[in-house]
């Protein structure tokens, strides 16, 4: 990993960061990501850096890194959205589910109907036993995209597991199965 030119390109630094990360060389990965210049790849490097900080036990630093990306008006919108999703994931894994939901809701204030944020919020609601709210968010995604097999399956699964509405659930799971007949989660 250390045999590169004195000034590798940003794309090469990003790639080397991925390799170091795959090898669990956290400090090396962090250095590579920190060296990615502004422009294409920088936002992804910032997300990866935050994940590494969290893996190293530096949750507050990871959250600060994500908040900087969220506030960066020049950042790619999809990466900003991903910063809210990663923040929620890190908070949830730290047992801070209310803070995780707040992070998702902050993202939703910017990306109002984003299906990834809606799905994350639905799953957060489901884990917190707010089943009606979970179903409402999943339904909102389905209404916008009735061919999203993953969400159709989640809606059906939630109906079956949390409401014991097996006939209602079956209709959604069947729709998902038609769209993705070889999907293991749907077959389950």
Task: Supply the pLDDT for residue 6.
Answer: 64
Give the burial string for 25-51 (b: 16+ CB within 10 Å, else e). Answer: beebbbbbbebbeeeebbbbbbbbbbb
Residue 37, token pair as written in the block = 């210049």
Q: How far apart are the first and last CA of the chain?
A: 42
Task: Supply the pLDDT for residue 3.
Answer: 55
Task: Supply the pLDDT for residue 9.
Answer: 85
Residues of the chain with pLDDT under 50: 1, 4
**Of 172, 121, 162, 182, the residue nearest 142 (C-alpha):** 172
Task: Supply the pLDDT for residue 99.
Answer: 97
Residue 61, token pair as written in the block = 């630093």
Task: Supply the pLDDT for residue 10.
Answer: 84
Q: What is the pTM of this model?
A: 0.88
Tokens 């994931």 belong to 89
Task: Kindly report the number of other CB atoms within 10 A of residue 56's CB atom.
Answer: 13
């Amino acid at each position: 990993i250390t045999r590169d030119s004195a000034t590798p390109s940003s794309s090469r630094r990003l790639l080397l960061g991925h390799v170091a990360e795959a090898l669990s060389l956290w400090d090396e990965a962090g250095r590579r990501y920190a060296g990615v210049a502004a422009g294409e790849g920088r936002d992804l490097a910032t997300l990866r850096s935050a994940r590494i900080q969290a893996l190293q036990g530096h949750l507050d630093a990871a959250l600060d890194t994500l908040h900087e990306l969220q506030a960066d008006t020049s950042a790619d919108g999809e990466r900003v959205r991903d910063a809210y999703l990663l923040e929620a994931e890190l908070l949830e894994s730290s047992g801070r589910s209310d803070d995780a939901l707040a992070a998702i809701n902050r993202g939703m204030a910017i990306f109002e109907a984003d299906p990834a944020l809606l799905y994350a919020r639905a799953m957060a609601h489901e884990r917190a036993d707010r089943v009606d709210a979970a179903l409402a968010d999943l339904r909102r995604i389905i209404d916008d995209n009735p061919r999203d097999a993953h969400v159709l399956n989640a809606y059906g699964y939630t109906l079956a597991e949390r409401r014991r509405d097996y006939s209602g659930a079956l209709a959604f799971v069947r729709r998902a199965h038609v769209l993705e007949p070889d999907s293991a989660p749907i077959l389950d």
